[in-house]
Amino acid sequence: TVPYDPEVLRARALETLLAARARTTGLTGCVDEDDLTAQHSPLMSPLVWDLAHIGNQEEQWLLRAVGGRDAIRPDIDPLYDAFEHPRAARPSLPLLSPAEARAYVAEVRGRALDVLEASPLRGTGLLDGGFAFGMIAQHEQQHDETMLITHQLRRGPAALTAPEPPPAPGDAALLPPEVLVPGGPFVMGTDTEPWALDNERPAHRRNVPAFFLDTLPVTNAAYARFLEDGGYDDPRWWTEAGWEHVRRHGLYAPRFWSRAGGQWLRDRFGVTEPVPPEEPVLHVCWYEADAYARWAGRRLPTEAEWEKAARHDPATGRSRRYPWGDADPGPQHANLGQRHLRPAPAGAYPEGASPLGVRQLMGDVWEWTASDFLPHPGFRAFPYREYSEVFFGGDYKVLRGGSFAVDGVACRGTFRNWDHPVRRQIFSGFRTARDASPRADGGEVTA
């Protein structure tokens, strides 16, 4: 059982479920019916599919599995099963209409809150620490990020506005370009986060030799130098599969970039603007991130290196929940929850720095790592194989940290995301690393 007060977790479950629904309502309420049911890209579902899928998962887990209630709409389960129908096929299914989907998710939610009220949040399994409620709040927030990607792909006038302008870049120019992460073991993964998903578990020791990591994510200005140096035309920088991919699809710059009047422009949620040089590069695939790193004489960090940089406190030897410590994310720590509707400039959020001074590990852009998506040693699928297990060993690379579109409930030092190496409609960027000489590990013991 988790070392948290069940009543604190009950309040947090309620708060995070309500916050997720407010965001879902915003993302589906700012466009008309046609926009909700249209396919904006074959890569994405219609928004109305995500909406009803959110409700259907909530019905299955909170009403049926936890609450032991009868099904409201067992007939629609197959329509909203992500494994039954590929995204491109979903617009032609007999989906609930926007009005029906709204009524359905509201009815499910009303009953889910009754179940929350009535459930003891201790013991083992789905109820321990309110896990099922945290899982469903995270699931809704993950689909909110998916819907924001659909909004990015949607054509037409802007439908979304940023709640707040982004912060200033701060002291970026004064920071050392890279930090040395000393070698030795650290604890990767977790046994104690009540709402950590199955792929983040269990905690285990990993030895990570000394390495250097970029203090900041790679910026648009840095990435543009790779373009100007002919990076996309030079097979030396690309893996074989990456070169094949850029040639076949004619890639020449990050997705949503275009060239006009001698400068790079980008489309962002229906507005075209000059590419902001100081912002972390966004909408690059793994192949592009990997090629840039090789061009720069560097490499992508492994997933273990990334997590060590984000969590390991050299002063205590402990792994923190977040780079800044154990406190839940606050607005001073990281750019989350689509607050700025864009990444913040590199160097922002100094209060979110890791013990070694690495910035913006959480929020802003998902960071591609060198690693394939694999289970931690001792992994057990929970509560369903289709969340993580069926993806292990597939054609997926791990992304860490979370983008500006991730909510704090789905953001942790241990949180793992994954996608195909060709994907770039997602809010993906990266930072680079290099090996340190063996002497740089400070003589720490190795596991």
Q: Binding residues for ligand AVJ, per CB under 6 A?
A: 139, 142, 146, 387, 417-418
Of the candidates 429, 431, 399, 395, the one whose C-alpha atom is nearest the C-alpha of residue 417 is: 399
Cβ distance to ligand AVJ smaller for residue 284 or 353: 284
Cβ distance to ligand AVJ smaller for residue 53 or 266: 53
Q: How far, in Å, are 20, 113, 131, 139 from residue 119 at the CA level?
A: 21, 10, 12, 20
Cβ distance to ligand AVJ smaller for residue 24 or 142: 142
The nearest distance, CB 3 to ligand AVJ, in angstroms, is 26
Cβ distance to ligand AVJ smaller for residue 49 or 232: 49
Cβ distance to ligand AVJ smaller for residue 39 or 146: 146
Amino acid at 173: A
The nearest distance, CB 386 to ligand AVJ, in angstroms, is 7
∠ CA 253-399-163, rounded to 5°:
75
Cβ distance to ligand AVJ smaller for residue 417 or 428: 417
191 marked ligand binding residue: no
The nearest distance, CB 56 to ligand AVJ, in angstroms, is 11
The nearest distance, CB 388 to ligand AVJ, in angstroms, is 8
What is the rounded distance in angstroms from the CA atom of residue 252 to the CA atom of residue 180?
33
The nearest distance, CB 395 to ligand AVJ, in angstroms, is 13
Q: Is 213 exposed, middle or buried (0-12, 13-18, 19+ CB in 10 A)?
A: buried
Give me the DSSP letters along 302-351.
PHHHHHHHHHB-TTT-PBPSBTTBSSPP-TTT-B-TTSSSSPPPTT--GG
Amino acid at 274: P
The nearest distance, CB 416 to ligand AVJ, in angstroms, is 8
439 marked ligand binding residue: no
Q: Is 171 exposed, middle or buried (0-12, 13-18, 19+ CB in 10 A)?
A: exposed
The nearest distance, CB 431 to ligand AVJ, in angstroms, is 20
Amino acid at 150: T
List 266's β-bridge partners, or say none. Answer: 257, 273
Cβ distance to ligand AVJ smaller for residue 371 or 417: 417
Give the position of tokens 């648009």. 220
The nearest distance, CB 444 to ligand AVJ, in angstroms, is 33
Cβ distance to ligand AVJ smaller for residue 51 or 291: 51
423 marked ligand binding residue: yes
139 marked ligand binding residue: yes
∠ CA 45-257-348, rounded to 5°:
90
Give residue number: closest CB to ligand AVJ.
142
Q: How far, in Å, are 117, 167, 192, 368, 413 from residue 14 at the CA level?
A: 9, 30, 21, 32, 23
| Joined tokens for residue 48 | 């109305």
Of the candidates 124, 116, 18, the one whose C-alpha atom is nearest the C-alpha of residue 66 is: 116
Amino acid at 53: H
Cis upstream peptide for 202 (omega within 30°): yes
143 marked ligand binding residue: yes
Cβ distance to ligand AVJ smaller for residue 225 or 420: 420
What is the rounded distance in angstroms from the CA atom of residue 69 to the CA atom of residue 73?
12
The nearest distance, CB 29 to ligand AVJ, in angstroms, is 21
Which amino acids are annotated as binding site for Fe cation, given as ranges?
A: 53, 139, 143
- Residues of the binding site for gamma-L-glutamyl-L-cysteine: 87-90, 419, 423
Residues contributing to the annotated binding site: 53, 87-90, 139, 143, 419, 423
